[in-house]
A and B are shown apart, each in its own frame.
Chain A
Amino acid sequence: MSSSTLMKTFAETDIVDTLIIGSGAGGAPLAAELARNGKSVVVLEAGPAFPATGHTPDEVAARELYWLHERLSAGTNPQAFGGNNSGTGLGGSLLHYGAFMPRMDARDFHLHTETGKGVDWPFGLNELLPYIERVESFIGVSGPAHYPWDPERRYAYAPPPANSAALKMREGCDALGLRHADGPAALITRDIEQPHFGTRHACANCGACHQGCRNGAKSGTDNTWLPMAVAYGAELRPGCFAHTIERDSSGRVTGVVYRQNGVEHRQKCATLVLAAGAVETPRLLLTNGLANSSGQVGQNYMTHVSTQVWGEFDEDIRPNRGYPSLTITEDMMRPKDADFVGGYLVQSLGMMPATWSQNLARSTTTRGPAFARALAGYNRSAGMGINGECLPRPENRVTLSNEKDAFGIPKPLIEHSYGPNEWAMHHHAARLLTQMWEAVGAKDIRVIDRAAHMIGTCRMGTDADSNVVNPVGRSFDIDNLWISDHSIFPSAAAANPALAIMALSLRTAEAMLKT
C-alpha cells in the first residue's frame, strides 16, 4: 500500500454506510467503487499490512501470507489450504495468487442447460463481460496480441518472456496438434504510474509470484483497488478479526464485533458485506446463525480439479525463473473424447523448490537415495497443470467442527471428495499431459492428483429456497447483508476465480448503489 495518501478514519460509533469484511478480490473492488460514489466505507482485514518490499521468496517464511487460523480438512480428497486458496493481510489471497487470469468460458455459465449436470449461473457471460473488461483495464493484465480462442480480445500489456516450462509446453502442444498461446497474466510488463498508488515496475521475471510480488508488477488489490478506495475516503483496518454480527429486533444488521490486538471493538454500519471467502464467509454466517433459511450456507463447496504432470528434461530448466505459468491451451474446454461434463484449462508450470518438493513428496512413497535423487532433479523439471470444472455435490461442504480456535469459535471442517466427473476429468488430463511430455522427451513423468482454489458455499440464484443470495449478491433473508466473494459462485467453472470475483464485486457495488 502506498502511504502517500492520508487515510480517513471513522469512529466506532459512526454508522458507516458500508462495512466490508475482507480486503481481497471480493472486498476491495467494491470498497473502491462505493467510496468513489461517496459512500462511507470501512474495510476490516484480519491480517496485517505487508509492505511489498518486505516479501521474501523463502517459501517457509512467505507462509505468513496464508490464512493461518487452522482448518480441518476431510473427505476422500481432503484439500490442502494456504497456498492456492486462502490469504491474509491487506490484499487477501491476491498477495500470493499466481496471477493467472483467464476469463470464464461463456459455456460454463450454462453448464446445466448444456449437460443436465451442475448448475447454471443466473446470467451469462454477456452480463459479466463489461465488468471483466473494467477489471482487466484497471488492474493491468498482460496477454498475447491474438488470443486463439477469442479473437476479439485485447490485452494492454505484452506477455512476459516464456520460461523453460512455457517453451516446453508449446512443444508438447505442437506435437499433439493443440493450439497454445501466452496466457492472460495479471501483471504489468512496463513501468506505470498506478492511479492513487504510485509507481509499479515491470515484471522482473523473479518467479516468486506466490511468495508476494516485491516490485508491484503483479496486479493485486494492494496496489490497485485498495489505494483507490483510500483515495476516495475509505478506511482500511488491518489486524481486525471479525467474529460477531449484531442485529436489531427486526433482524437487520447493525454492526460487527471484531478483535484487534486482543481487544474487542464494535463498528456500526448501515450495510454489511461479507468478502471473507468460501470458508470464512459461511463460517461467520454459521457461527452467528444468520441468512440460512435456504439451508444452503456452507453447502456445495467446490474446488478446481488441478491435476499436475511433471517431467524431467535433459536441459537445465531452473523452474523457479520467470513467470511460472505462461503457456495456456483452452482446447480442452470441451474435448471431443470427454467422458465428463465441463472442461479444463491447461497451463505450463514452473514452481519454487519447496512447493515443488511438497508435491513430489506427498504424491510418492519413494525413500532413501531414490528420494534424494528425485529432489535433486528440481533444476531439470517442468510441469503442466489444469484447472477444471468441479461439480457441486451435497457431501462437499463447510460446517463447524467441535474444536474451538484461539478466539473460542469453532474451527471450520471442510469435506471434499471427488465424484465421478472429477475423477474422469483427472484421468483424461493425466493421460493427455503425459502424452504431451512423452512427445517432447520428458523422463520420470509423474502425475499429481490435487485440487486447488475454493468456491461455493453461499450460492447465488433467483430462488430464495435454494440460494443464499440473489443474482446481485444480496441476502434473501437480511436486506442489508451482501456477499461479495467466490462463495456465491453457483458453479466452479474452469477459469481461475480471481477475475470473476472482482467483476462480480463491481457488479454488486453497482447494485448496492441503486438501492
Chain B
Amino acid sequence: MSHPPDRPEILDSDHLSTRTREILTSRLSVSTTQPRTLSLRAYAVLDALLPVLLPLDEILPPGTDISMTARIDAALSGPRDGWRFADLPPDAEAWESALLTLDDAATEQHGLAFIHLAPDLRGSLLDAVMDGQVGLDRAGRLTASQMKRWSGDLRGEVVDCIMSDPRIQQALGISSSLTGGDTVFQGFTNVGPDSREDFEPKATASLLQMTDSSE
C-alpha cells in the first residue's frame, strides 16, 4: 500500500483498535483558521516560541507541519487533566497571560515584539523564563515565579502534543499505540531488548539514523 506523505503507516496496522485509529487520525487534520482559546497576539507569540523550544526538523520528514500551535490552542479549550498549580490562574487564562508577558518582555528588553525577535533572542528569553528571570507584576500578566511555573506547563503541553501525534510516533519508531486490534488483542510477544517485532515501526527520524542499532 502506498501512503500519502502525511499518513503514517502505523495507522493502517491491524494492531490498532478502531477507536485509537480515529483518535490518532483526528490529529492529522486540525483547523488552523481561527484560534479557539488564545487571542491572535498570544497565538502568534506561541507560534514563534514553539520552534525555539522544540524544533522538529530533525524528527519529521521535510515539509511536514503537525500544526502544533493550533492543536495546543485547541487543547486549552478541551478537557484538561484535573488539576493546576494553585499559584497560577485557570489554564486558558494562564497561557494568555504568560504569552502576553513574554511579548511585553521582548518589547521592553529589545524594543521589538516577540515574533520579530531573531530565533537566538527568542531562545534566550525563553531560557530566562525557565530560570525565573522574566515576569511582570501587573494585571493580566504573570510574575517571574508564575512564568517559571508556567514554563513547566508549556513544556508538558508541547510533549503531549508531539508524542501523541502518529507522524511523530512513526518517525521515532514508537509502537505504543499498537497494543492490539478490535477482534484480536495481540499485545506484544517480544518485550526484551533488541527484539522489534515486524509490525512495530522502525525509526525514520534523521537525528536517529546515525545511532540506530536496532536494525
Contacts and interface: CB of A to CB of B under 8 A. Distances in A.
Interface in A49-68: 53-54, 56-61, 63-64, 66-68
Interface in B148-201: 151-152, 155-156, 158-160, 162-164, 169, 172-177, 179-180, 182, 185-196, 200
Interface residue tally of chain B, by bracket?
Answer: 35 or more
A66 B164 contact: no
A81 interface: yes
Interface stretch (B19-27, B38-46, B134-142): B19-27
Contact of B20 (A57, A201, A368): A57
A353 interface: yes
A63 B79 contact: yes
Contacts of A373: 58, 207
Interface residues of A, number: 70
A128 to B, nearest CB: 31
A71 B84 CA distance: 6
Contacts of B174: 320, 353, 378-379
A352 B160 CA distance: 11
Interface string A24-63: 0000000000000000000000000000011011111101
Contacts of A80: 83
Contacts of B192: 161-164, 167
B180 A204 contact: yes
Interface stretch (A249-257, A287-295, A357-365): A357-365
Interface of A, helix, strand, loop or mixed by DSSP:
loop
B108 interface: no
A365 to B, nearest CB: 4
B186 A362 contact: no
A376 B130 contact: no
B30 interface: no
A320 to B, nearest CB: 4
A361 B203 contact: no
Nearest to A81: B83
Interface in A322-352: 322, 352
Given A214-B180, A315-B193, A367 B54 contact: yes
Given A360-B159, A371-B53, A70 B83 contact: yes
Interface string B117-144: 0000001001100110000000000000
Given A58-B20, A66-B82, A82-B82, A208 B176 contact: yes
B130 A365 contact: yes
A206 B178 CA distance: 8
Given A70-B82, A376-B172, A322 B59 contact: no
A369 B123 CA distance: 12
B87 A214 contact: no
Contact of B173 (A63, A315, A379): A379
Interface string B1-42: 000000000000000010110011000000000000000000
B213 interface: yes
A215 interface: yes
A372 B23 contact: no
A207 B54 CA distance: 27
Given A74-B87, A214-B180, A369 B55 contact: yes
Interface in B201-215: 203, 205, 207-208, 213-214
A405 B93 CA distance: 16
Contacts of B169: 353
A205 B127 contact: no
A9 B131 CA distance: 58
Contacts of A367: 52-54, 123, 126-127, 130
Nearest to A168: B193
B162 A375 contact: yes
A428 interface: no
A73 interface: yes
Nearest to B20: A56
Given A362-B156, A368-B123, A321 B190 contact: yes
Interface in A194-219: 201, 203-208, 214-215
Given A73-B86, A316-B196, A68 B81 contact: yes
Contacts of A74: 85-87
A318 interface: yes
A56 B17 contact: yes
B131 A365 contact: yes
Contacts of B194: 315-316
B81 A66 contact: yes
B82 A161 contact: no
Nearest to A413: B86
Interface string B77-104: 0011111111100100000000000000
Contact of B176 (A161, A353, A361): A353
A52 to B, nearest CB: 10
Contacts of B155: 361-362
Given A318-B175, A365-B127, A375-B163, A70 B84 contact: yes
A10 B196 CA distance: 53
A387 interface: no
A205 B82 contact: no
Interface in A372-397: 372-373, 375-376, 378-379
Contact of A372 (B56, B80, B83, B179): B56
Nearest to B190: A321
Contacts of A357: 159-160, 162-163
Nearest to A201: B185
A70 B24 contact: no
A281 B208 CA distance: 48
A375 B142 CA distance: 29
A36 B23 CA distance: 41
The 9 closest A-B pairs by CB, nearest first: A204-B187, A322-B191, A316-B214, A357-B159, A206-B179, A320-B176, A315-B193, A74-B86, A361-B155
23 contacts: A56-B23, A58-B164, A63-B82, A73-B85, A81-B82, A82-B82, A162-B192, A167-B193, A203-B187, A205-B191, A207-B188, A208-B179, A214-B17, A318-B200, A321-B190, A322-B188, A322-B191, A352-B176, A356-B163, A365-B127, A368-B52, A368-B53, A375-B59
Given A78-B85, A164-B193, 16 more contacts: A56-B23, A58-B24, A59-B160, A66-B82, A70-B80, A73-B84, A81-B82, A81-B83, A161-B191, A203-B187, A205-B191, A206-B180, A317-B193, A353-B176, A360-B159, A379-B172
Interface of A: 53-54, 56-61, 63-64, 66-74, 78, 80-82, 86, 161-164, 167-168, 201, 203-208, 214-215, 313-318, 320-322, 352-354, 356-358, 360-362, 365, 367-369, 371-373, 375-376, 378-379, 401, 413
